[in-house]
């Protein structure tokens, strides 16, 4: 059990969540995209949201600004979260557009809001669970995606719920967070995605109204 909880901290690390949501989007959206476009978008998203943050992390580690990839201290989180927020702005402005990839665009908009909230909270010495931010955001995005396209991915959503609970247990087991920090992280991931989904759904209703 200890091994499973330890693995959960790595497998469900928040750094993977933007790419995981993007992969889910392109795999299951009931709309055709050329394979070259999908590969190019996923590669760009992986570079910006995974590889560049990892390089930045090692730079900060060499400078003595952070200790581990889990950013255990509140002060360690300021630069990584600020940098990650800027990278999400880059994705929204350079990689995606609201017309061709509306669902994915709003997913990253939700990620941007969550990242900005987590960053601002560091200035008040409030440490929330970034793992729960990532898992909560992905869970809400997948649920919203299924609702929007009338898909019944019960097993996928069930898996994400179990994975979210396992991640929360892992962070508590390793004494990385308190119960309050877990809940705050989950809400910080869920609520922005819920707001983003409402914007996506409202846009769909408005476009359907005008087209009709």
Q: What tokens were used for 84? A: 């990650």
Nearest CA-CA partner of 177 in 131, 115, 122, 124: 131
Distances 176 to 7, 76, 128, 173 between C-alpha atoms, Å: 14, 14, 10, 8
Q: What is the pLDDT of residue 204?
A: 64
Q: What is the pLDDT of residue 186?
A: 97
Q: What is the pLDDT of residue 209?
A: 46
pLDDT in tens, the chain (212 residues): 777 878 888 899 999 999 999 999 999 999 899 999 999 999 999 999 999 999 999 999 998 888 888 888 899 999 999 999 999 999 999 999 999 999 999 999 999 999 999 999 999 999 999 999 999 999 999 999 999 999 999 999 999 999 999 999 999 998 989 999 999 999 999 999 999 999 988 876 555 444 44
Model pLDDT for residues 23-56, shown as the tens digit of each residue: 999 999 998 999 999 999 999 999 999 999 999 9
Domain of 72 in residue numbering reads as 2-211
Q: Please tell me whether residue 86 adopts helix, strand or coil conformation.
A: helix
* Number of domains comprising the chain: 1
Nearest CA-CA partner of 132 in 52, 10, 13, 1: 13
In 3-state terms the chain splits into helix, strand, coil percentages (rounded to 5) of: 80, 0, 20
Q: What is the pLDDT of residue 206?
A: 57
Q: What is the pLDDT of residue 71?
A: 86
Q: What tokens were used for 199? A: 């914007």
What's the pTM value of the predicted model, to 2 decimals?
A: 0.94
Question: Look-up: residue for tokens 């943050």?
Answer: 53
Q: What tokens were used for 46? A: 């992986």
Q: What tokens were used for 146? A: 């299924």
CA 164 to chain centre: 13
Q: What tokens were used for 82? A: 């600020």
Q: What tokens were used for 65? A: 């600004």
């Amino acid at each position: 059990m200890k091994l499973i909880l330890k693995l959960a901290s790595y497998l469900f690390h928040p750094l993977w969540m933007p790419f995981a949501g993007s992969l889910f989007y392109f795999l299951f959206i009931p709309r055709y995209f050329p394979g070259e476009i999908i590969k190019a978008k996923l590669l760009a998203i992986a570079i910006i949201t995974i590889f560049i943050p990892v390089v930045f992390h090692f730079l900060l580690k060499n400078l003595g600004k952070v200790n581990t990839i889990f950013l255990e201290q509140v002060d360690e989180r300021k630069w990584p979260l600020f940098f990650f927020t800027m990278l999400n702005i880059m994705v929204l402005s350079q990689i995606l557009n609201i017309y061709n990839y509306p669902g994915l665009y709003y997913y990253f908009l939700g990620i941007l809001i969550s990242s900005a909230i987590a960053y601002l909270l560091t200035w008040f010495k409030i440490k929330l669970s970034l793992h729960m931010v990532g898992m909560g955001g992905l869970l809400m995005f997948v649920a919203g995606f299924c609702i929007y396209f009338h898909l019944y991915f019960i097993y996928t959503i069930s898996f994400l719920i179990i994975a979210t609970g396992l991640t929360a247990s892992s962070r508590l087991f390793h004494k990385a967070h308190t119960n309050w920090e877990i809940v705050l992280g989950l809400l910080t991931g869920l609520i922005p995605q819920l707001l983003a989904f409402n914007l996506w759904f409202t846009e769909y209703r408005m476009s359907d109204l005008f087209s009709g």
